[in-house]
């Protein structure tokens, strides 16, 4: 059978179809994955699922949640792919999902899939500081190793962090600190760090890019942004904070209202395939699929072989339940 697929990549809210006319069922996918990785994954998926017309809408973590809720009465997508589990566990979202026993689920640890079958996560990301070593040396600043270190007055104006309201990475950092320290000490620490923060940026990766460019000494970001910066030759050291390094999983799920469930399930199955797993290491520091070899760049940057030993064991259910209250507190006491 000769069929041609149309693969849609949506940047922001504008849909751009990548290739020819589709003759098969259409699957609409909503995701918070980055545009460059989406394009790479889609090339591979197209080869494996040539008879499926996949259209992808990409939005930031917070914006995607707002869109899904706005469309709750009439969902416009079949699949959620690579979206923060903390956001997905919102009861208003889980009410829209349908259990699916995805092929390959047995390759995932228990912590990377819902007991109710509503979601699974093939990838994730970990809190890390991107520290500009040249700037540190030029300004005679010490190398930070923890969140507590960032309260040192010598770093005033030298720290940039992601805004947790819009950034999944930013909220991950909040959750890691608050769960590891407890609410009282956690908020005290966050307020103390805020005294040194130059600005809060909407994206989770941009604080790292700002640090590697020499605009600031320290960018609170995610490990993969640091790994890529080091691989590309920037004067960056990756530091996973020793006190409350949070992490987040990127969940995928089937919508109850999916118009093309058969092909939606095939696409979800593909996301746990060996080919997909191999591609994930080009963009992710945390791949949950058993047997996936870590990327050489991650090893070279010093990413720990045993990730669990380096991160705080986040309670995603708690993180999801408290999200609105935490963000409200952050906006009223720190947000700017």
Q: Is the pLDDT of residue 252 over 70?
A: yes
- Output helix, strand, coil percentages for the chain, rounded to the nearest 5: 40, 20, 40
Residue 167 backbone class (left: φ over 0; alpha: ψ -120 to 50; beta: rest): beta
pLDDT at 310: 87
Q: Is 13 exposed, middle or buried (0-12, 13-18, 19+ CB in 10 A)?
A: exposed
Question: pLDDT tens, 85-133?
Answer: 999 999 999 999 999 999 999 999 999 999 999 999 999 999 999 999 9
Domains and CATH numbers, the chain: 7-123+248-293 (3.40.190.10), 125-246+301-333 (3.40.190.10)
User: Which tops the pLDDT comparison, 44 or 21?
Assistant: 44
Q: Is the pLDDT of residue 287 over 70?
A: yes
**16, 58 in Cβ contact below 8 A?**
no
Calculate mean pLDDT across residues 250-258.
97
Question: pLDDT tens, 139-193?
Answer: 999 999 999 999 999 999 999 999 999 888 999 999 999 999 999 999 999 999 9
To the nearest whole percent, how much of the chain has pLDDT over 70? Answer: 93
Q: Is the pLDDT of residue 71 over 60?
A: yes
Looking at 49-132, list the stretches that DSSP marks H as alpha helix, in order from N- to C-terminal side.
Answer: 61-70, 85-88, 91-94
pLDDT at 8: 37
pLDDT at 14: 33
Three-class secondary structure of residue 248 per DSSP: strand
**Lowest model confidence (mean pLDDT) among 98-107, 208-217, 289-298, 309-318:** 289-298
Main-chain phi, psi angles of 199, to 5 degrees = -165, 160
Instruction: Give dist(CA 216, CA 232) in Å, integer.
Output: 18
Q: Is the pLDDT of residue 23 over 60?
A: no
Q: Residue 24: pLDDT band by 50, 70, 90 thresholds?
A: low
User: Which tops the pLDDT comparison, 295 or 48?
Assistant: 48
pLDDT at 60: 85
**244, 145 in Cβ contact below 8 A?**
no
């Amino acid at each position: 059978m000769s069929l041609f697929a149309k693969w849609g990549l949506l940047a922001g809210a504008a849909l751009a179809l990548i290739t020819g006319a589709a003759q098969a069922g259409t699957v609409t996918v909503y995701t918070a994955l980055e545009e460059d990785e989406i394009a790479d994954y889609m090339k591979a998926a197209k080869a494996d699922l040539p008879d499926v017309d996949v259209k992808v809408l990409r939005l930031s973590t917070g914006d995607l949640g707002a869109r899904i809720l706005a469309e709750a009465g009439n969902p416009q997508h079949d699949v959620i792919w690579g979206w923060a589990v903390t956001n997905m566990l919102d009861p208003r979202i889980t009410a829209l999902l349908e259990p699916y026993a995805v092929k390959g689920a047995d390759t995932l640890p228990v912590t990377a899939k819902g007991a109710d079958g509503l979601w699974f996560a093939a990838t994730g990301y970990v809190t890390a500081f991107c520290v500009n070593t040249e700037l540190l040396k030029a300004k005679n600043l010490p190398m930070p190793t923890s969140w507590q270190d960032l309260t040192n007055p010598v770093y005033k104006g030298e720290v940039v962090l992601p805004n947790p309201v819009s950034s999944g990475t930013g909220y991950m950092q909040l959750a890691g600190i608050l769960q590891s320290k407890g609410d009282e000490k956690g908020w005290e620490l966050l307020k103390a760090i805020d005294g040194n923060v130059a600005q809060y940026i909407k994206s989770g990766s941009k604080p790292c890019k700002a640090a590697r460019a020499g605009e600031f000494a320290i960018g609170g970001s995610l490990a993969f942004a640091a790994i890529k910066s080091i691989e590309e030759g920037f004067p960056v050291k990756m530091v996973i904070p020793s006190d409350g390094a949070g992490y987040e999983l990127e969940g995928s799920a089937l919508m109850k209202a999916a118009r093309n469930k058969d092909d939606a399930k095939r696409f979800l199955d593909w996301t746990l395939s060996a080919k997909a797993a191999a591609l994930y290491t080009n963009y992710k520091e945390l791949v949950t699929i058993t047997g996936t070899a870590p990327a050489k760049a991650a090893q070279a940057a010093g990413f720990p072989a045993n990730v669990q030993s380096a991160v705080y064991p986040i309670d995603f259910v708690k993180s999801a339940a408290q999200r609105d209250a935490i963000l409200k507190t952050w906006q009223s006491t720190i947000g700017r």
